[in-house]
Amino acid sequence: MSGGRRRLGGVWRRRRPLRTRLALAVTAAVAFVAVGVCAAAYLVVRSALYEQLDLSLTQSARLAAQRNPGEPAGTLAGECRFLAAPACAEVVPADPADDPGRPGQLPVAPAAREVAAGERAPYYTNIAVAGHPARMLTTDYAKGRALQVALRADTVEAGIEEASRWLLLTAVAGVLLAAVLGYWVSRTGLAPVTRLTATAERIAATRDPRHRIELPPPLPGALGREDEITRLAGSFNTMLGELEQSVTAQRRLVADASHELRTPLTALRTNAELLARAERLTDAQRERASAALGRQLREVTGLVNDLIELARDEEPTPLVEQVRLDAVVERCVEGARAHWPGVPFVVRTEGVVVAGVPARLSRLLTNLLDNAAKFSPGGTPVEVDMAHDSGVPEVTVRDHGPGIAAEDLPYVFDRFYRAGAARALPGSGLGLAMARQIARAHGAELVAEAAPGGGALFRVRFAAAPA
Ligand SMILES: Nc1ncnc2c1ncn2[C@@H]1O[C@H](COP(=O)(O)OP(=O)(O)OP(=O)(O)O)[C@@H](O)[C@H]1O
Ligand SMILES: [Mg+2]
């Protein structure tokens, strides 16, 4: 997976691959929790151990004060120099001038004087006596004096040290485990993404949209409950399918078009070559050749224009508007009457509005009217009808010509398809393909059927009309 780039302070920096970022994030999260839990455990163990010690210091202080009330400054009980058990107690006066000649063995902090003066609440401190860790309580005793009680804290300190060693070990192991976990999560979690990327890169390299991403077989009852990556892969496959279809359709259109253009272009060239040697032709021959050349040029131009329209797929949305369908039908029939003066058009319309592009709808109807007129034997009418059953607008174009043979019916909407009988008539077989494409772009359906009593019937059925 190649790393992306991110703009940082105006400079583009390479971003770490997603897999590394995920691994780092998981590692950091798990490591944070592991270290946090160990630190909390350390604090809890430490305070529990000290609590026990503090409790016995309080009891010793109470006992010493009860047994020896109102003593002057100096050692009250126990042995304070080396702090052998039991606890040692010493009276500290508020004024250092009242200290006994022999200084006490317990350290006296200014705070202790404050407690003696009654200006401060009792407190605990960690001290060292003769190189040993000890814990001391300074509490009130009698007026102007405080009582200091101390106990050796070797076992407590050793316990705390032992606990901290174990907890540190646990934290280190936790961080290592977090790293392993982060790596594993990023590998397994991103494996489908890696597959997806590999497929995308393969398609980009080979330009072949036939590749697909392998999806896990769907579990029964899990439909619609797949994970995000599986759904993404599914959408990706769908998109590839569409792409493949569209590429195939484009290729076929180009192949069909070049094949169809070959014949009229050959005829054009023949006539052009003929006219190049005009001095050898009679006036009548020259006239005929140039008329044919003009007709063939018009045909080729028409064909190319049709192809361009066919290659366009959807109606551009900005052009879509609410269209009076009856007005469009009437305008198209006017045009057809002018173009086919020998064909009577019988029209019945009703006011219907559909959403669409007027010029494209005209094109659709003109193609149908053109076919109907082209295949109508002299004098027979072409009937154009509008219906509006159950809110669904519908236009039908019906003629009294030969109709479409059942074996041709499935193919008349194919590009360049012309039934055998139609080959003698002008046309390239693109009209109906275009008509169906326009209908689909408008959400409508165009079908051909045999009219009752002979002739062809084309039906354009729109989606439900807007209110
Ligand atoms: N009204 C109709 N009656 C009988 N056959 C029809 C009718 N309309 C279409 N067809 C058949 O369907 C074929 C395809 O029609 P389409 O309009 O696509 O092509 P075309 O009319 O031959 O050429 P173009 O419309 O491109 O000039 C026709 O060649 C013809 O065989
Ligand atoms: Mg046609």
Q: Measure 238 CA to ligand 2 centroid, in angstroms.
A: 35
CATH number of 436's domain: 3.30.565.10
Report the candidate in 46, 27, 24, 22 with the shortest Cα–Cα distance to residue 174.
Answer: 27
Q: What integer pLDDT is reported at residue 11 of this predicted model?
A: 57
Q: What integer pLDDT is reported at residue 464 of this predicted model?
A: 73
Q: Atom 31 in ligand 1: which residue has the minimum CA distance?
A: 419
Residues 336 and 419 grouped into a single domain: yes
Q: What integer pLDDT is reported at residue 439 of this predicted model?
A: 93
pTM, 2 dp: 0.54
CA–CA distance, 138 with 381 (Å, rounded to integer): 121
Residues 324, 447 contacting (CB under 8 angstroms): no
Residues 140 and 78 grouped into a single domain: yes
Residues 127 and 249 grouped into a single domain: no
Mean pLDDT across 144-162: 89
Report the candidate in 2, 26, 6 with the shortest Cα–Cα distance to residue 15.
Answer: 6
Report if residue 15 sits inside a domain. Answer: no
Report if residue 291 sits inside a domain. Answer: yes
Ligand 1 pocket: which of 399, 412, 413, 416 to mutate (most atoms within 8 A of CB): 412
Q: What integer pLDDT is reported at residue 75 of this predicted model?
A: 73
Cβ(26) to ligand 1 under 6 A?
A: no
Report if residue 405 sits inside a domain. Answer: yes
Question: Is the previous residue joined to 466 through a cis bond, with omega within 30 degrees of 0?
Answer: no
Confidence of residue 3 (pLDDT cuts 50, 70, 90): very low
CATH number of 241's domain: 1.10.287.130
The domain boundary, picked from 119, 153, 187, lies at: 153
Mean pLDDT across 223-232: 76
Residue 301 predicted with pLDDT over 60:
yes
| Total residue length of the chain | 467
- For residue 212, list its beta bridge partners: none
Q: What integer pLDDT is reported at residue 467 of this predicted model?
A: 45
CA–CA distance, 178 with 188 (Å, rounded to integer): 15
Quick: pLDDT tens for 43-62: 999 999 999 999 999 998 88
Report if residue 59 sits inside a domain. Answer: no
Q: What integer pLDDT is reported at residue 215 of this predicted model?
A: 77
For residues 333-352, one letter each, b for 16 or more C-beta atoms within 10 angstroms of the residue's C-beta and e for the rest, the string is: beebbeebeebebebebeeb
Report if residue 273 sits inside a domain. Answer: yes
Q: Measure 398 CA to ligand 2 centroid, in angstroms.
A: 14
Please give the tally of structural domains in the chain.
3
Provide the domain limits for residue 75.
Answer: 69-153
Report if residue 348 sits inside a domain. Answer: yes
Report the candidate in 296, 264, 244 with the shortest Cα–Cα distance to residue 416.
Answer: 264
In a 10 Å sphere around its CB, with 0-12 CB exposed, 13-18 middle and 19+ buried, how is residue 306 labelled?
buried
Cβ(404) to ligand 1 under 6 A?
A: yes
Report if residue 326 sits inside a domain. Answer: yes
Kindly report each contact of residues 304-311 with a partner whose C-beta sits within 8 Å and lies 24 or more positions away, as own/partner: 304/261, 306/428, 306/430, 306/431, 306/434, 307/253, 307/257, 307/430, 309/363, 309/434, 310/253, 310/415, 310/430, 310/433, 310/434, 310/437, 311/250, 311/253
CA–CA distance, 408 with 418 (Å, rounded to integer): 9
Q: Which ligand is nearest to the CA of 419?
A: 1
Residues 287 and 333 grouped into a single domain: no
Q: Atom 9 in ligand 1: which residue has the minimum CA distance?
A: 371
Residues 423 and 399 grouped into a single domain: yes
Confidence of residue 102 (pLDDT cuts 50, 70, 90): low
The domain boundary, picked from 310, 342, 376, lies at: 310
